[in-house]
């Protein structure tokens, strides 16, 4: 977790012991909501800092690189997700969701596993010595020009990459591959919409639409590793856990749209 967080108000879980202070804080909270017209979670929650749009979702993979005196590997989510669904890498190619959680080696890549599955010199630039510097940059080096060109063609969003990826895939402005092994494979037609009761009475429920998620992911991507839930036991999806990168926080803090826009998940908020 990044320690440099935008801490404004931590949802009332700080050193608020005095009832009057609590009342004042609640009044400030109500005033903030009323005055802004829009509800941004960054005002109330300790969210990770938002990078520039073209750098949102960028990661540096350094499981073995530095140990082997090689610069860490840069990976940009936006440039890949326009062509491939999350499922391709995080299911078919077995990349863990956690940065550095994949036991990937140089030899694996050369044997056509992980990045090497596509970066073979045919589908994408090859995993060869003359291309080392293209991935082993050691810094997050997203191409702003390419990003802007992509974003110009897609529906906009307020946070994250500033791209509404859900709208982009629904409207087929992007057609990311669902499977690189079986082109005929299609997303599961599972449309169940979950309504998750919020922690506070004044906050309307969060809505979880399965159909939006199964376009990008496999059922097994989330169940049971991330969401090992049984019916009617969704009460423990607390914001504090999500902010610890559990549950929705696995994706919705640094890659999928961030939680700054409360209304994306709590559409009933005014």
How far, CA to CA in Å, does 64 sit from each of 112, 237, 247?
A: 18, 34, 27
3-state secondary structure of 41: helix
Backbone angles phi, psi at 195, to 5 degrees: -110, 115
Q: Which CB atom, from 91 or from 125, has the smaller least distance to other proteins?
A: 91
Q: Which CB atom, from 228 or from 270, has the smaller least distance to other proteins?
A: 228
Nearest approach in angstroms of CB 120 to other proteins is: 14
Nearest approach in angstroms of CB 193 to other proteins is: 15
Q: Which CB atom, from 53 or from 90, has the smaller least distance to other proteins?
A: 90
Contacts of 191 (CB under 8 A, 6+ apart): 209, 210, 211
Nearest approach in angstroms of CB 185 to other proteins is: 7
Q: Which residues bind other proteins (CB under 8 A)?
A: 91-94, 103, 108, 111-114, 182, 185-186, 188, 190, 218-221, 223-225, 228, 230-232
- The long-range contacts involving 35-40, CB below 8 angstroms and separated by at least 24 positions, are 38/263, 39/261, 39/262, 39/263, 39/266, 39/269, 39/270, 40/260, 40/261, 40/262
How far, CA to CA in Å, does 66 sit from each of 62, 127, 268?
A: 6, 18, 47
Task: State in Å, rounded, how far the first CA of the chain is from the last one.
Answer: 30
Nearest approach in angstroms of CB 190 to other proteins is: 6
Nearest approach in angstroms of CB 183 to other proteins is: 14
Q: Which CB atom, from 195 or from 225, has the smaller least distance to other proteins?
A: 225
Q: Which CB atom, from 190 or from 200, has the smaller least distance to other proteins?
A: 190
């Amino acid at each position: 977790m990044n320690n440099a967080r935008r801490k404004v108000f931590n949802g009332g879980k700080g050193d608020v012991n005095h009832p009057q202070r609590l009342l004042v804080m609640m009044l400030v909270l109500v005033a903030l909501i009323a005055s802004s017209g829009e509800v941004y979670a960054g005002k109330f929650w300790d969210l990770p800092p938002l990078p520039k749009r073209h750098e949102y979702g960028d990661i540096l993979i350094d499981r073995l690189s530095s140990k082997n005196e090689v610069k860490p590997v840069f990976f940009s989510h936006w440039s890949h997700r326009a062509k491939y669904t999350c499922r391709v890498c995080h299911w078919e190619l077995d990349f863990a969701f956690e940065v550095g959680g994949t036991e990937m080696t140089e030899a694996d890549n050369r044997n056509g596993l992980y990045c090497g599955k596509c970066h073979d010199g045919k589908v994408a630039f090859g995993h060869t010595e003359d291309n080392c510097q293209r991935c082993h940059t050691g810094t997050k080096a997203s191409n702003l020009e390419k990003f802007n060109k992509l974003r110009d063609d897609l529906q906009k969003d307020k946070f994250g990459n500033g791209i509404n990826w859900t709208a982009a895939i629904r409207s087929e402005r992007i057609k990311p591959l669902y499977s690189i092994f079986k082109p005929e494979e299609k997303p599961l037609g599972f449309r169940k919409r979950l309504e998750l009761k919020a922690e506070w009475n004044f906050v309307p429920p969060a809505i979880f639409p399965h159909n939006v998620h199964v376009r990008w992911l496999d059922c097994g991507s989330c169940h049971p590793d991330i969401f090992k839930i049984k019916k009617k036991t969704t009460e423990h999806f607390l914001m504090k856990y999500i902010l610890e990168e559990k549950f929705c926080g696995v994706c919705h803090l640094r890659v999928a749209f961030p939680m700054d826009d409360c209304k994306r998940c709590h559409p009933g908020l005014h």
